[in-house]
Amino acid sequence: MKKDVFLSREDEDISRCFDWKEDMRCGDPDIDADHQHIFELAQHLRSVSIRGRERIVVGKALIDLMDYAHSHFQREEALMQSSAYPMLEEHRMEHAALLELIHELHRDFMDGKAIGRADVWRLLSRWVQHHVLSTDRALVLFVRQSR
Ligand SMILES: [Fe+2]
Ligand SMILES: [Fe+2]
């Protein structure tokens, strides 16, 4: 049963960071579609966790985000390899750090803790935005210029 709760100002602020905006596009349709879906999955996870939905619903949302982020990172890393992208290692390290944040949420969840801890969400929201707007854009620009 869905339980609507009052969202704090901080919750609303963080939640808005996971809203996809058109100006977040990198210029590669496949990568942009992946990013849009990641934002939707993160928004969904945050929504079901802070609204106190059933454990199975939250767990499914968390696994869906982890799986999709992992496969998206693999697609980008394959593109970097095939394009001989010079910043591959730095980019890959950011992916690993982002995955670690999601794994941290999963560990909290498996330990029975609430996963709506604001500090982790704040970090994840800023990092996702930073990565898309800066790191991924640089990759797409390189690939387009090298074709
Ligand atoms: Fe990336
Ligand atoms: Fe990406």
What's the CA-to-centroid distance between 22 and ligand 2, angstroms?
15
Q: Does some domain include residue 10?
A: no
Q: Does some domain include residue 16?
A: no
What's the CA-to-centroid distance between 60 and ligand 1, angstroms?
24
3-state secondary structure 102-114: HHHHHHHHHCCCC
What's the CA-to-centroid distance between 93 and ligand 1, angstroms?
10
Q: Does some domain include residue 109?
A: yes
Residue linked to tokens 């996702």: 128
Q: Considering every ligand atom shown, identify the ligand nearest to the alpha carbon of residue 25 and give its number.
A: 2
Q: What is the mean pLDDT of residues 72-88?
A: 98
Q: Say if residue 4's pLDDT is above 60.
A: no
Give 37-63 pLDDT, tens digit per residue: 999 999 898 888 887 778 899 899 999
This prediction has a pTM of 0.88
CATH number of the domain to which 57 belongs: 1.20.120.50
Q: Does some domain include residue 76?
A: yes
What's the CA-to-centroid distance between 109 and ligand 1, angstroms?
25
